[in-house]
């Protein structure tokens, strides 16, 4: 995952050089953390005032920890080492979470004395990470992992917009009321944002935008001759039974609270960190068609500043800076769609797919893929902003999963390279086969107020919308998958 593109502003003025140099000296810690005071990995980078004009005080506005994603550097993992590597990757996540908690709990002290960021947070974290990375390098045979600087984390300074400067123009606060009919004036909006920041380390005003200010930006390739134009839908409910946990059986199998945020589950009811393929095959399902025992899961959405849920003192909830009332979706639609250029082939059973990136705020948006919009405006999709919807409109999250498969593997070392997205014309990369594209559409009744809601995240990701993601394990029966493929390839709508 690459770093996001930066704004094409001049970066070589003397005042800025001085500020950056001073920050590096204060927080460098013997080379541990040369801080980029103005870095931002989200897409909405434009429109900020010049940080250099803020003076040296800007150095103190630190907001989170930025660590390299070790999983993205893995090329292959031997089958015999997979469980050990997965566990060490989960340990790395826990180390960052613990370090961020230490930073958050001592933020005032660190803002007054930035050198404490090194001695209190970064130096111990580097030692822990070096040990885990060494174990991964030994298990995978990738000795170069120890030499890539992956153990070094930095403190990221808050964006100017995150502090409220000029954010009123960016927030898109609506003037015609919330979805629940309440007025959302500026003072209430600011209170909600302040409460969200104090209680849950985000989000901020600049993370929200009026959907009506977004230009239509959705385009789909026209079907060509030989396209598969059908759709198969699976009704699996909307998690009315409240199946949730903070595990991630794909990324962190065998690790409780491997996600450090809460997931909603529909479909397979046996899913947790310890589920084997056999457990999933024998598990119950919330899907109407019992041939679909697939696992579908995504981070929960919470309403903030309105009381906390029962997990306020639990792992994945309040202990990981995820606070607020969890919202059950108003509607969930799960569909398998075809390819605009070819027929599709069956997914292999137990295929695992992750779409989006739970760490996109620090990783950059190369793998960010979830979309946010509003009913009635779904030709306008947002990746790095939460939508503020007009009265009578609901918030919509859409996950369009990878639709190309390498034809061999049900998973890969980084959980990505065994599948791929089609190109703009809908064609798969060389060596990949078109499979049905999973599309999840999740609808919520949420207040149209900046700062009033947020998706759960790793705590250091600050509940940014760009970190949204979806996970899927295919546990269709062979018979039902065959039916779905035939339906899609013959241009019909089936369920």
Residue with tokens 């960190």: 273
The alpha carbon of 460 is separated from its chain's Cα centroid by a whole number of angstroms, namely 12
pLDDT in tens, 379-410: 999 999 999 999 999 999 999 999 999 999 99
pLDDT in tens, 189-245: 444 444 444 444 789 999 999 999 999 999 999 999 999 999 999 999 999 999 999
Residue 201 pLDDT: 74
CB 277 within 8 A of CB 342: no
Calpha distance 471→174 (Å, rounded): 32
Residue 158 pLDDT: 59
Residue 170 pLDDT: 32
Residue 124 pLDDT: 97
Average pLDDT over residues 255-284: 98
Residue 174 pLDDT: 37
172: pLDDT strictly greater than 60: no
Indicate the DSSP class of residue 38.
Answer: T
Query: What DSSP element (H or E) covers 349?
Result: none
Write out the DSSP string of 40-64: --SS--TTPPPGGGG-GGGGG-EEE
Q: Report percent pLDDT > 70 for the chain.
A: 79
Average pLDDT over residues 284-296: 98
Average pLDDT over residues 292-298: 98
Average pLDDT over residues 408-431: 96
165: pLDDT strictly greater than 60: no
pLDDT in tens, 424-466: 999 999 999 999 999 999 999 999 999 999 999 999 999 999 9
CB 39 within 8 A of CB 105: no
Alpha helices, H only, 76-122: 82-105, 107-112, 115-116
CA-CA-CA-CA torsion sign (279, 285, 355, 259)? negative
Calpha distance 333→288 (Å, rounded): 13
83: pLDDT strictly greater than 60: yes
177: pLDDT strictly greater than 70: no
Average pLDDT over residues 167-181: 33
Residues 6+ apart with CB under 8 A from 15: 52, 53
CB 494 within 8 A of CB 230: yes
3-state secondary structure (DSSP) of residue 332: strand
pLDDT in tens, 275-286: 999 999 999 999
Residue 183 pLDDT: 34
Please state which of the ranges 66-75, 164-173, 295-304, 373-382 shows the lowest mean pLDDT: 164-173
- Looking at the whole model, is its pTM more than 0.85? no
Residue 206 pLDDT: 93
pLDDT in tens, 53-63: 333 343 447 88
Residue 129 pLDDT: 98
Residues 6+ apart with CB under 8 A from 176: 390, 391
Average pLDDT over residues 291-311: 96
Closest CA to 210 of 463, 75, 389: 389
The CA angle 465-155-124, to the nearest 5 degrees, is 120
Strand arrangement of the beta sheet that strand 469-473 belongs to: 244-245, 263-267, 295-299, 469-473, 352-356
Q: Which two tokens stand for residue 245?
A: 């946990």
Residue 27 pLDDT: 40
Evaluate the omega torsion of the peptide bond into residue 82 and state whether it is cis, within 30 degrees of 0. no
Residue 202 pLDDT: 80
CA-CA-CA-CA torsion sign (237, 241, 246, 247)? negative
39: pLDDT strictly greater than 50: no
Query: What DSSP element (H or E) covers 173?
Result: none
Calpha distance 300→317 (Å, rounded): 10
Best-predicted range by mean pLDDT (113-117, 152-156, 264-268) = 264-268
Domain boundaries, the chain: 14-165, 200-494
């Amino acid at each position: 995952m690459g770093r996001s593109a930066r704004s094409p502003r001049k970066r070589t003025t003397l005042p800025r050089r001085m500020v950056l140099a001073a920050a590096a000296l204060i927080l460098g810690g013997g080379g541990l953390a040369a801080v980029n005071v103005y870095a931002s990995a989200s897409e909405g980078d434009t429109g900020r005032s010049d940080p250099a004009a803020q003076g040296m005080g800007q150095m103190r506005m630190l907001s989170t920890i930025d660590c390299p994603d070790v999983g993205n550097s893995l090329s292959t993992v031997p089958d015999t080492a997979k469980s050990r590597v997965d566990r060490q990757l989960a340990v790395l996540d826990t180390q960052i979470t613990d370090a961020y908690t230490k930073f958050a709990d001592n933020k005032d002290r660190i803002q007054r004395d930035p050198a404490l960021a090194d001695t209190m947070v970064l130096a111990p974290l580097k030692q822990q990470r070096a040990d885990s990375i060494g174990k991964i390098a030994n298990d995978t045979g990738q000795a170069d992992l120890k030499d890539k600087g992956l153990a070094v984390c930095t403190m990221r300074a808050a964006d100017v917009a995150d502090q409220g400067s000029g954010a009123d123009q960016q927030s898109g606060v609506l003037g015609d009321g919330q979805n629940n009919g309440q007025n959302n004036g500026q003072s209430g909006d600011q209170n909600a944002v302040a409460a969200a920041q104090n209680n849950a380390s985000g989000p901020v005003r600049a993370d929200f935008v009026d959907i009506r200010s977004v230009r239509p930006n959705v385009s789909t390739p026209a079907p060509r001759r030989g396209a598969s134009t059908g759709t198969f839908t699976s009704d699996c409910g909307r998690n009315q039974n409240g199946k949730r946990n903070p595990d991630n059986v794909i990324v962190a199998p065998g690790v409780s609270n491997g996600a450090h945020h809460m997931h909603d589950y529909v479909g397979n009811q046996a899913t947790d960190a310890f589920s084997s393929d056999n457990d999933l095959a024998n598990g119950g399902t919330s899907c109407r068609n019992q041939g679909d025992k697939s696992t579908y899961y995504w981070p929960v959405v919470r309403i903030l500043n309105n009381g906390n849920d029962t997990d306020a003192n639990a792992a994945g909830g309040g202990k990981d800076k995820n606070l607020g009332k969890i919202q059950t979706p108003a509607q969930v639609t799960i569909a398998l769609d075809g390819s605009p250029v070819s027929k599709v082939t069956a997914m292999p059973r137990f295929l695992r797919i992750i779409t989006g990136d739970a760490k996109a705020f620090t990783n950059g948006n190369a793998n960010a893929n979830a979309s946010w919009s509003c009913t009635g405006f779904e030709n306008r999709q947002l990746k790095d902003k939460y939508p503020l919807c007009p009265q009578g409109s609901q918030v919509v999250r859409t996950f369009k999963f990878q639709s190309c498969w390498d034809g061999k593997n049900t998973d890969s070392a980084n959980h990505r390279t065994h599948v791929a997205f089609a190109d703009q014309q809908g064609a798969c990369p060389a060596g990949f086969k078109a499979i049905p594209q999973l599309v999840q559409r999740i609808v919520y009744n949420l207040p149209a107020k900046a700062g009033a809601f947020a998706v759960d995240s790793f705590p250091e990701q600050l509940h940014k919308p760009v970190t949204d993601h979806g996970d899927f394990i295919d546990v269709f029966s062979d018979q039902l998958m065959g039916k779905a493929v035939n339906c899609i390839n013959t241009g019909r709508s089936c369920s």
